[in-house]
Amino acid sequence: MRIAIVSLKGGVSKSTLCVNIGAALSKLGRSVVVVDADPQGSINDWATIRDEVSRPPFTVLAAARKTLNRDIDALQGSHDDCLIDTPGRAESITLAAIAAADLVLIPISPSSYDLWAAEQTLERMDPIRAIYTDIKIAYVVSKAVVGSSLDRELRQVIKEMDGDLLKTVVHQRVAFQRCADGATIYELKDEKAQREVTNLTKEILKLMGVG
């Protein structure tokens, strides 16, 4: 299974989701490689910090390149799953990552800017999906404010867009911010955040028909 986490806008938790979905898949007994295709190298930096404490629960490879769709077999190797963290602005790399993926996961936080970015992402994907017709699209509401009605309003809008809206909402929590220090959510004391990531990952597996 190959998942590209994509948005043409930064700040929607692509890297955080990538790391924690990777950790959740690993906990479920799957072997995972996370490809850091963002020239900023956030996940590569995360892995460097992590190595000072213990090995990450998955393999991390830095590959911010325009040839991801051609290189993906070699990058994934024998791993069950490959997660690709994409940049917000380097469009050619992002499009290559989309072409390499089985599933494009688009995080959207409750803001009109994120909706605009998602719509722009879909438009950019059209020529690729005309060639790679099996690519699935799914949306996850991320960085939702606990107790706010905005995420419910956002979900109503997303339902009208092309693709599957995942039921799990990932909320804005301090624990997710702390993951940048080399941790996964499963090593931090926030059971609600852990449950959100686990449920999200199980939804993705179900969507992709992976038992």
DSSP annotation of 13: -
**Share of residues in the chain with pLDDT > 90 (%):** 66
Is pLDDT above 70 for 88? yes
CA-based nearest residue to 16, from 137, 176, 134: 176
In which band, very low, low, confident or very high, does the pLDDT at 162 lie, cut at 50, 70 and 90? confident
Tokens of 144: 């939702």
Model confidence at 207: pLDDT above 90: yes
- 49: phi then psi, degrees, rounded to nearest 5: -65, -45
* Distance set, CA 157 to CA 106, 144, 150, 161, 203 (Å): 14, 15, 11, 7, 20
Residue 205 sits at the vertex; the CA angle it makes with 23 and 151, to the nearest 5 degrees, is: 80
Dist. CA 101–CA 44, nearest whole Å = 20
User: Are the CB atoms for 163 and 136 separated by under 8 Å?
Assistant: yes
Q: Answer with the residue of higher pLDDT: 116 or 71.
A: 71
Name the more confident of 152 and 96: 96
- Rounded (10°) angle between helices 42-51 and 14-27: 50
Which tokens is 35 given? 């490809």
Q: Give the pLDDT score at 123.
A: 82
Is the pLDDT at 105 greater than 80? The verdict is yes
